[in-house]
């Protein structure tokens, strides 16, 4: 039996406010992101291995924070965690603008990602507060679309100002601080309904693991999280993909434009993918995303002309659209409401740790053009897409009823 929709529907106040917060923060982040590998290698003199290491270590810091923040989000008010997380992200962007050596950028990126780790699980728990499980794909899809719309605006701002600022990178770094600060101010409008604190000694649910504090997470949750973490080991940071685009021959303006196109495709497909995952097995929608991942990585490995980079990155936008919000909705539908923060924190923490490993090995194996790591990861993505469709968690539920279609 499907859950009845609440009177307010799925588009709650928090969904609207948090979409706005994420839009502003991502506009700031993605104004920086396309030029960061160029800034590191051409202005600060860092080698490509440092680019991968910085992003990998930053994601690792976020992963550790998510593990703790998810648990805190189930026991304490979530709004202060969200505000503090966006505040740290704004501070990280300020440090990048001040950086004169790559270790400062490392500190800045770790600070930024600590903020992401602190805010993500409590934010995602508030997004689905009061929303039926059968409609959570729409919630996460809309949030991803708003977040990624900021990721379109940010690079376009950079593209428009690049020539006006005489192709100087540092003024763009300062401009990125403005929307980051605005996002922090907007968190004041987040509603955090009073709720009883969860008790550590609560009885486990049937089929759950029994080691505190994760006893309420069922075995199926761990199977899904384990598989998605395995994939994360092949999913290295996008900064290396942008470095590849620059190495192929794209100018700074070209990198801005290509990244904006990627995010436009990502934003446009996020809500439809989330809504589709409310009707079809989420496992299947995620597998489609892995197909786009394989196309993106293998395509970039063989691309040698600007038009090829633009085409491949536009298709690659389908990867995050079909996996980011869909993965969170998949996890959300598996666990009880009282464990939403913990479940999201562990899932996002473990997959972030996988990205840490991916960034380290890909940066070290990058060589002159990144051909080898792109081929390896693209192949892994294609294989996992097939495995997920054939043997993934919940595969046997596809032929079942409505519950299997929504949560599979």
Residue range(s) defining the domain that contains residue 21? 13-191+218-407
The answer for residues whose C-beta is within 8 angstroms of residue 153's C-beta and 6 or more apart is 23, 27, 30
Whether 319 is covered by a domain: the verdict is yes
pLDDT reported for residue 185: 94
Give mean pLDDT, residues 105-132: 86
Peptide bond into 213 cis (omega under 30): yes
Instruction: Give the tens place of pLDDT for each residue, 158-175.
Output: 888 877 887 788 888 899
pLDDT of residue 408 exceeding 90: no
Lowest mean pLDDT among 192-206, 211-225, 369-383: 192-206
pLDDT of residue 7 exceeding 70: no
Torsion of CA 346, 229, 54, 249, to 10 degrees: -140
Nearest to 67 by CA among 118, 12, 14, 1: 118
Whether 197 is covered by a domain: the verdict is no
Whether 8 is covered by a domain: the verdict is no
CA distances from 307 to 37, 250, 304, 314, 353 (A): 21, 10, 9, 11, 33
pLDDT reported for residue 4: 41
Q: How far apart are CA 213 and CA 75, in angstroms?
A: 11
Instruction: Give the tens place of pLDDT for each residue, 251-271.
Output: 888 888 888 899 889 888 988
pLDDT reported for residue 30: 83
Mean pLDDT of the chain: 82
pLDDT of residue 325 exceeding 50: yes
> Which one of 135-144, 334-343, 375-384 scores highest in mean pLDDT?
375-384
Q: What percent of the chain has pLDDT over 90?
A: 31
Pairwise pLDDT comparison (45 vs 298), residue with the higher score = 298
pLDDT reported for residue 359: 82
Whether 213 is covered by a domain: the verdict is no
Whether 170 is covered by a domain: the verdict is yes
Under the banding of pLDDT at 50, 70 and 90, the label for residue 372 is very high
Domain tally for the chain? 1
The CATH number for 57's domain is 1.20.1250.20
pLDDT of residue 177 exceeding 90: yes
Whether 42 is covered by a domain: the verdict is yes
pLDDT of residue 207 exceeding 50: no
Instruction: Give the tens place of pLDDT for each residue, 85-101.
Output: 999 999 999 999 999 89
Phi, psi of 208 (to 5 degrees): -85, 155
The answer for residues whose C-beta is within 8 angstroms of residue 394's C-beta and 6 or more apart is 220, 224, 281, 283, 404, 407, 408
- Strand, helix or coil at 208? strand
Under the banding of pLDDT at 50, 70 and 90, the label for residue 302 is very high
pTM more than 0.75: no
Burial 204-232 (b: 16+ CB within 10 A, else e): eeeebeeeeebbbbbebbbebbebbbebb
Give mean pLDDT, residues 21-44: 87
Give mean pLDDT, residues 182-188: 94
Quote the tokens at residue 71: 């648990």
Give mean pLDDT, residues 277-299: 93
Lowest mean pLDDT among 139-148, 185-194, 345-354, 396-405: 396-405
Under the banding of pLDDT at 50, 70 and 90, the label for residue 327 is very high
Under the banding of pLDDT at 50, 70 and 90, the label for residue 196 is low
Whether 2 is covered by a domain: the verdict is no
pLDDT reported for residue 195: 60
pLDDT reported for residue 392: 57
pLDDT of residue 397 exceeding 50: no
Q: How far apart are CA 345 and CA 53, in angstroms?
A: 23
Whether 3 is covered by a domain: the verdict is no
Give mean pLDDT, residues 402-406: 38
Torsion of CA 39, 150, 57, 393, to 10 degrees: -140
């Amino acid at each position: 039996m499907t859950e009845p929709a609440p009177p307010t529907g799925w588009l709650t106040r928090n969904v609207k406010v948090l979409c706005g917060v994420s839009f502003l923060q991502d506009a700031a982040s993605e104004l920086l992101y396309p030029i960061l590998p160029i800034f590191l290698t051409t202005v600060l003199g860092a080698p490509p291995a440092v680019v991968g290491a910085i992003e990998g270590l930053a994601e690792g810091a976020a992963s550790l924070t998510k593990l703790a923040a998810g648990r805190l989000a189930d026991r304490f008010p979530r709004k202060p965690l969200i505000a503090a997380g966006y505040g740290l992200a704004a501070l990280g962007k300020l440090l990048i603008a001040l950086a004169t050596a790559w270790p400062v950028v490392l500190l800045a990126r770790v600070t930024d990602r600590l903020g992401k780790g602190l805010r993500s699980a409590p934010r995602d728990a508030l997004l689905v507060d009061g929303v039926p499980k059968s409609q959570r794909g729409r919630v996460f899809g809309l949030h991803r679309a708003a977040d990624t719309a900021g990721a379109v605006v940010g690079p376009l701002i950079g593209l428009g100002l690049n020539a006006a600022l005489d192709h100087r990178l540092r003024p763009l770094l300062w401009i990125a601080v403005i929307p980051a600060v605005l996002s922090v101010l907007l968190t004041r409008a987040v509603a955090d309904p009073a709720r009883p604190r969860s008790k550590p000694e609560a009885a486990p649910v049937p089929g759950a693991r029994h080691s505190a504090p994760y006893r309420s997470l069922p075995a199926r949750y761990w199977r899904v999280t384990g598989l998605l973490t395995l994939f994360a080991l092949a999913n290295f940071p996008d900064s290396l993909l942008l470095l590849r685009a620059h190495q192929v021959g794209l100018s700074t303006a070209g990198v801005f434009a290509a990244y904006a196109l990627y995010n436009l495709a990502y934003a446009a497909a996020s809500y439809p993918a989330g809504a589709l995952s409310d009707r079809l097995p989420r496992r299947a929608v995620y597998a489609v995303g892995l197909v786009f991942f394989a196309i993106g990585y293998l395509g970039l490995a063989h691309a040698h002309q600007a038009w090829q980079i633009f085409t491949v990155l536009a298709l690659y936008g389908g990867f995050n659209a079909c996996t980011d919000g869909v993965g969170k909705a998949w996890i959300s539908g598996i666990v009880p409401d009282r464990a939403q923060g913990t479940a999201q924190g562990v899932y996002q923490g473990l997959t972030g740790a996988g990205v840490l490993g991916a960034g380290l090995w890909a940066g070290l194996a990058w060589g002159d053009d990144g051909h080898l790591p792109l081929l390896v990861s693209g192949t892994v993505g294609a294989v996992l897409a097939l495995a997920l469709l054939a043997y993934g968690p919940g595969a046997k539920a596809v032929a079942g009823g409505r519950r299997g279609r929504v949560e599979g």
